[in-house]
Chain A
Amino acid sequence: DSGVTQTPKHLITATGQRVTLRCSPRSGDLSVYWYQQSLDQGLQFLIQYYNGEERAKGNILERFSAQQFPDLHSELNLSSLELGDSALYFCASSVGSGGYEQYFGPGTRLTVT
């Protein structure tokens, strides 16, 4: 158990819908990262937040957005969902923006039908 929690574990929704994925980092960790793992594109970095502020953006679509709240939990919002958005979405956390390891949550499996 990494100490990072993600909810829900599984999510099934239809195309065009909007969903919110939630992540709670390890106690004391200020940075949160979101990754997408799909079969055809491997593990892709989406976005990073540090203490409530966006720090870096990776391959995140405009239909996706994220935020980190004062209690440091983070939410990833996915809208106008397409079949290709079906993937495993990981959240990871680390102590700081200059920290070493990123500890991964168990992931949320999103299926878009």
Chain B
Amino acid sequence: AQTVTQSQPEMSVQEAETVTLSCTYDTSESDYYLFWYKQPPSRQMILVIRQEAYKQQNATENRFSVNFQKAAKSFSLKISDSQLGDAAMYFCAYRSRGTSYDKVIFGPGTSLSVIP
């Protein structure tokens, strides 16, 4: 069974600085998707970025980028120019590709604080 680990329960960053959130996963599959979701205090789950395992190029969405290391099974999220609105819980998630269902496995989350 696949597992997702986020080893940093809490992180903090100064406004305008850069922070990296870590995620590792365990799978025997070769093809899958990885996601970062953001959950602000409103509790809404918001997709931040996704990565397809067969793509070597790291995904980027504005100030958010990932460092995908397939061999190491690592999928970190870098947030550049941090803003107060980035303060939230961040979840790393895994989904198999090519299966008949779309179960998503979430990590335990990292709580990010942004210091003005």
Interface positions of A (Cβ within 8 A of B): 2, 31, 33, 42-43, 45, 48, 50, 55-56, 58, 88, 90, 92, 94, 97-104, 106-107, 109
Contacts and interface: CB of A to CB of B under 8 A. Distances in A.
Given A56-B100, A102-B47, 10 more contacts: A2-B46, A33-B102, A43-B106, A45-B104, A48-B101, A50-B101, A55-B100, A92-B45, A98-B102, A102-B102
Interface of B: 33, 35, 37, 42-47, 50, 91, 98, 100-109
Which of B98, B102, B104, B108 has most chain A Cβ within 10 Å?
Answer: B102
A56 B103 CA distance: 7
Chain A interface, >50% SS class: strand
Contacts, number: 57
Contacts of A33: 102, 104
B29 to A, nearest CB: 15
